[in-house]
C-alpha cells in the first residue's frame, strides 16, 4: 500500500481521446497522491465541452488552451492562457503536447539538419478566419511557393495526416496564432521546434516570456510584415544565418520557462488539493455546532412531549382550559 495520500478526481468536457488515467494532470498528481477516478471526486477537471461539470459538488478546476477567460462563478481554480493569479495558473497549450524538457540541452548537427531540409516553408491551417495569417501566407508565397497541407488553402493535393512528419523537411513554418493576445501561446510555435524548423511567429506579444526569441523569427521584432518577409528571404539565402537560428536554445538560458516548469505546476496542484481539504474540514466544523444545536432542540421538544404524555388526560384538559381562560 502506498504511503501517498488518497485523492479522488475526475474529468469531463475534454476532447474525446482523453485517457482519464494517463494524461497531463493525472500523471502529475500521481507523483504525490494515490489517485482514484471517482464519480464523487475531490477535484473535478473540466473543459469547454458540455455542461456535465454542473452536476458535481466538489472543488472544480477549469482548463482551456483557447483564448477564453475562465468563469470563476463556475470554477474554483483554472489553468488557462491568462497570467498567474491566486485562482488562475498560466498553462500554455503547448505544455500538453510534448515533454518540454526534451527541448532543453539538445546536441544538434546543424549541417545534417540543413541537408535534410528540401522544402522552403509550410503552412498547416484548418481555421481560415484569421485574415492576418492568410494575408501573410499569400505575401510570402510571392517569393516562393509555401506548401499548404491543411484543409485551408490546400495546394499539395491532399490533407496532411502526420503533421510532424510533414513539417520536418521544411526550413520554415508559418506559426501564426488564430488571434493575438498577451499570454495566448499555443502549439503552433512549439511543434516546429521539435522538428528543427524555424518558426515564423505572430500572436502573443509576450512570447519572449515563453521562448528564446533568437531561435525563431518573431514578427513583433519588425515594423511590418514586408520587413518580416525581407528577413525570411535573407535567412533563406544565408546558410550560416539559418544555422544560427538552429543553434539557439529554444528556451531562454536553455531552461524551461516558469509556466511549464513541472515543479511549479505541481506546486499549484498541491495548493488546490490543500484548499479542498481545508474547506471540507472547515465546512464540517461549521456544520457540527449547528447539527448539535438541532439535536439539543429536538431533545428538548421530545422531553416536553414525554412530560405531556405522562400527565393524565383529565388533568391535561383542566390545565389547557385554565390557560385558555387566563
| Alpha-carbon separation of residue 229 from 3, 79, 114, 143, 183 (angstroms) | 58, 35, 20, 9, 25
- Is pLDDT above 80 for 161? yes
For residue 109, pLDDT beyond 60: yes
Percent pLDDT > 70 in the chain is 86
Q: What is the pLDDT of residue 280?
A: 75
> Helix H segments across 183-224?
187-194
The better pLDDT of the pair 308, 239 is held by 239
Is a pLDDT exceeding 60 seen at residue 288?
no
pLDDT per residue over 83-107, tens digit each? 999 999 999 999 998 889 999 999 9
pLDDT of 56 reads: 95
- Are residues 64 and 81 in contact, defined by beta-carbon separation less than 8 angstroms? yes
Is the pLDDT at 320 greater than 70? The verdict is no
Q: Is the pLDDT of residue 309 over 90?
A: no
At residue 26's C-alpha, the angle toward residues 21 and 27, to 5°, is 100
Judged against a pLDDT cut of 60, whether residue 149 lies above it is answered with yes
Higher-confidence position of 71 and 316:
71
pLDDT band at 279 (very low <50, low <70, confident <90, very high): confident
Question: What is the model's pLDDT at position 80?
Answer: 97
Asked if the model's pLDDT at residue 315 lies above 90, the reply is no
Q: How far is CA 299 from the centre of its chain?
A: 52
Q: What is the pLDDT of residue 282?
A: 72
Compute the mean pLDDT over every residue in the chain, rounded to the nearest whole number: 90
Checking if the pLDDT of 260 tops 90, the result is yes
Q: Would the pLDDT of 26 be above 60?
A: yes
- How far apart CA 310 and CA 301 sit, in angstroms, is 14
Whether pLDDT at 21 is above 70: yes
pLDDT tier, 313 (very low <50, low <70, confident <90, very high otherwise): low
| Long-range Cβ contacts of 241-248 (<8 Å, 24+ apart) | 242/114, 242/171, 242/198, 243/110, 243/111, 243/114, 245/198, 245/214, 245/215, 245/216, 245/217, 246/108, 246/110, 246/113, 246/114, 246/196, 246/198, 247/108, 247/110, 248/212, 248/214, 248/215
Average pLDDT value for residue range 5-32? 96
What number is the average pLDDT over the span 249-261? 97
One DSSP character per residue, 4-24 reads SPEEEEEEESS-TT--TTSSH
Residue 45 has pLDDT above 60, yes or no: yes
Indicate the pLDDT class of residue 293, thresholds 50, 70 and 90. low
- Per-residue model confidence (pLDDT) at position 312: 57
Amino acid at each position: 500500500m502506498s504511503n501517498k495520500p488518497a485523492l479522488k478526481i475526475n474529468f469531463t468536457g475534454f476532447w474525446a481521446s482523453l485517457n482519464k488515467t494517463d494524461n497531463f494532470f493525472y500523471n502529475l498528481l500521481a507523483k504525490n497522491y494515490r489517485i482514484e477516478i471517482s464519480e464523487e471526486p475531490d477535484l473535478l477537471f473540466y473543459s469547454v465541452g458540455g455542461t456535465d461539470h454542473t452536476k458535481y459538488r466538489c472543488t472544480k478546476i477549469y482548463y482551456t488552451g483557447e483564448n477564453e477567460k475562465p468563469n470563476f462563478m463556475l470554477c474554483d481554480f483554472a489553468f488557462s492562457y491568462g497570467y498567474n493569479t491566486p485562482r488562475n495558473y498560466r498553462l500554455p497549450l503547448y505544455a500538453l503536447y510534448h515533454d518540454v524538457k526534451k527541448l532543453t540541452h539538445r546536441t544538434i548537427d546543424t549541417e545534417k539538419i540543413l541537408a535534410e531540409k528540401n522544402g522552403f516553408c509550410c503552412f498547416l491551417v484548418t481555421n481560415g478566419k484569421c485574415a492576418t495569417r492568410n494575408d501573410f501566407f499569400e505575401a510570402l508565397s510571392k517569393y516562393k511557393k509555401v506548401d499548404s497541407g491543411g484543409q485551408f488553402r490546400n495546394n499539395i493535393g491532399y490533407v496532411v495526416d502526420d503533421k510532424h512528419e510533414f513539417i520536418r523537411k521544411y526550413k520554415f513554418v508559418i506559426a501564426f496564432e488564430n488571434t493575438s493576445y498577451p499570454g495566448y501561446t499555443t502549439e503552433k510555435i512549439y511543434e516546429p521546434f521539435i522538428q528543427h524548423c524555424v518558426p515564423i511567429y505572430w500572436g502573443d506579444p509576450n512570447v519572449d516570456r515563453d521562448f528564446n526569441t533568437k531561435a525563431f523569427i518573431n514578427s513583433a521584432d519588425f515594423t511590418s510584415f514586408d520587413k518580416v518577409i525581407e528577413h525570411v528571404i535573407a535567412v533563406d539565402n544565408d546558410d550560416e544565418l539559418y544555422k544560427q537560428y538552429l543553434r539557439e536554445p529554444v528556451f531562454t538560458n536553455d531552461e524551461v520557462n516558469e509556466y511549464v516548469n513541472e515543479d511549479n505546476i505541481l506546486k499549484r496542484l498541491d495548493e488546490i488539493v490543500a484548499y479542498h481539504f481545508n474547506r471540507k474540514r472547515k465546512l464540517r466544523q461549521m456544520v457540527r455546532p449547528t447539527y448539535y444545536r438541532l439535536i439539543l432542540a429536538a431533545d428538548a421538544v421530545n422531553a416536553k412531549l414525554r412530560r405531556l404524555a405522562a400527565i393524565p388526560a383529565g388533568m391535561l384538559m383542566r390545565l389547557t382550559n385554565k390557560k385558555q381562560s387566563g
